[in-house]
Structure formats: C-alpha cells, structure tokens
Amino acid sequence: MSIVQELLTQVETAIANLLTGAEEISISSRKYRKTDLDKLRVMRKNLQEDVFYEQVSAGGTTRAYAAWPTRRGGIPPWTSVNPSNES
C-alpha cells in the first residue's frame, strides 16, 4: 500500500469517526474537528484522484512530454535565437 493510499484510509476513517460523534481526530500530527469536515472531504477527493493516477500509471509516471519539432532544430518558438528570424 502506498503512502497516498494509507493517507486516504486515514482520512476516510477520520470522516467516519467525526460523523459518528468523535470530537477531534488527528492525522499525521494535525487535528481535525467536525468543523473541518469540508476540508477532509476535499482532501479525500484529491487523494482518491492521486490513488487513481498511481494505479493507471504502472511505471510510476502519468505525464507525457512533447519534443520541439526537429524542423526548427528543437528551438522553442519564443526564443530570440530563431533561425527563421535571422537576417
């Protein structure tokens, strides 16, 4: 189980405990009360998305990077060293 999944489990447990009458719950040295339920729900949603992306990416990466076109020599268009603008 990854760190993100463990934290998600702690957040879900905290939400359940606060809804069933607990006054205060601590997660990783931070304390949460019933007034913090909205924060915990947002945290749960973000962690669920992180867990999803972890599961989707078997190799551990989910980002795709594009290379600059080779016809321009790999030079980004906004640079001052642009072969097409040279005199």
pLDDT at residue 8 is higher than 60: yes
Exposed/middle/buried for 11, CB within 10 Å: 0-12, 13-18, 19+? buried
Q: Report helix, strand or coil for 77.
A: coil
Predicted model pTM: 0.63
Q: Strand, coil or helix: what is 67? A: coil
Contact at 8 Å (CB) between 35 and 87? no
Has residue 85 got a pLDDT over 90?
no
pLDDT at 86: 52
Q: List the domain boundaries for the chain.
A: 3-56
Q: Is the pLDDT of residue 82 over 50?
A: no
Model pLDDT for residues 21-76, shown as the tens digit of each residue: 999 999 989 999 999 999 999 999 999 988 888 877 766 555 555 555 555 555 55
Q: What is the pLDDT of residue 83?
A: 54
